Amino acid sequence: MKWVWVKAVFLFFGAMVAIACSDGSGASGDDSDEPLDSSSDIDTSVDSATDSSTGTEDTPDTASDQVMDSDTHLDVDTSEDTDTGPFTIDTDASGTVRWTDSNGNEFGLYLPDGWAGAELPIVMFLHGYTNNPLSAQPWIVSALNQIEPCAVFLPYRPASEGAAAWGGTYDPALRTAMVATMSELDRIVEECGFNAARQYVYGESMGGEGVFALLYNFPEQFGGAVAVAGYTLLKGAEQMAQTPLWILHGNADTINPVSSSQNIYQAILDAGGSHVTYTEFDGVDHNPSISMAAGEPGLLQWLLGSIHP
């Protein structure tokens, strides 16, 4: 009886949850070569961890019509204090809102102070293996918001899913985790009224691999993308060429070979890509390259200033 009562309470409160970000009033992949259809001071301190489809090391802090169902719960972290339980986002909300969907996927959404329902840009941050952007605010949140007020979407994959949880171009189809993540991104943009033309994605290591997969499968969705120390097959250059992309990699990377980034960069150029930038850090291994990318002058300004051609 106790379990039935508890479950009923959760279902009741879950049914009350909705994201209403206006004024307070309330994908799957395939194995073909065709992309999917899709309607100043920066803290760069890092700790090492092991990552990627090739056994990567990584640093701490990378579209469908599904909607959040009645089993979803949200809570909000407003700097030091965290209120748990069902939470409805309104124009007074700020800090990081966190929720878990009915399939156990965990997400976070950072909202800047005083955003007041503005048509913000939104950056999706794909973390690396063993990193958790929900346990501590990742560096990119404050770095982006030093440039301009910006929403930051923080999907999370636990280390138990392995070192390639976001998937990559080496998969025949998008992984379930990425399908769920894209579904949430679409829902957030629509329900919160964010600027659909200013959706961006930044991925580190395992997350960088996810970035390559997204640009291959959704060549028209993102205004710009950054892939750091990620691995990709020499595949999908024609699709990737459609999105402004900055690739960064250390040429002494002992985890993900720099040749993968070099090759896809050249292939994008050969496919007519005119919005791709490549930065190679000489003599730099995997983890340090991720730190150096975080401090790369002008990188985040470029990202927020990019518009899909």
pLDDT at 147: 98
pLDDT tens digits for range 9-66: 333 333 333 444 544 433 333 333 444 433 333 333 333 333 444 444 444 333 333 2
CB atoms within 10 A of CB 243: 27
| pLDDT of amino acid 82 | 37
Using the predicted structure, report yes or no on whether residue 8 has a pLDDT greater than 60: no
How far CA 189 is from CA of 71, 103, 115, 195, 241, in Å, comes to 21, 21, 14, 7, 24
DSSP SS3 for 77: strand
Give the CATH number of domain 2-21+46-305.
3.40.50.1820
Lowest average pLDDT, out of 62-71, 110-119, 237-246, goes to 62-71
- Please state, rounded to an integer, the average pLDDT across all residues of the chain: 79
Contact 161, 168 (CB under 8 A): no
Question: Mean pLDDT throughout 126-135?
Answer: 95
Instruction: Return the structure tokens found at 291.
Output: 């730190």
Residues 144-172: pLDDT tens digits?
999 999 999 999 999 999 999 999 999 99
Which residue is listed with tokens 């508890």?
A: 6
Q: What is the pLDDT of residue 78?
A: 37
For residue 114, the model assigns a pLDDT of 85
Among the residue ranges 18-27, 67-76, 211-220, the one predicted with the least confidence is: 67-76
Query: pTM of the prediction?
Result: 0.76
Q: Are 260 and 9 a contacting pair, CB within 8 Å?
A: no
Residue ranges covered by each domain of the chain: 2-21+46-305
Give which of 219, 234, 213 is closest to 167, Cα–Cα: 213
Give the pLDDT score at 250.
98
- State the sign of the Cα–Cα–Cα–Cα dihedral 246, 154, 171, 200: negative
CA distances from 32 to 172, 215, 235 (A): 8, 15, 11
Give pLDDT, residue 118: 87
- The pLDDT, as a whole number, for residue 43 is 34
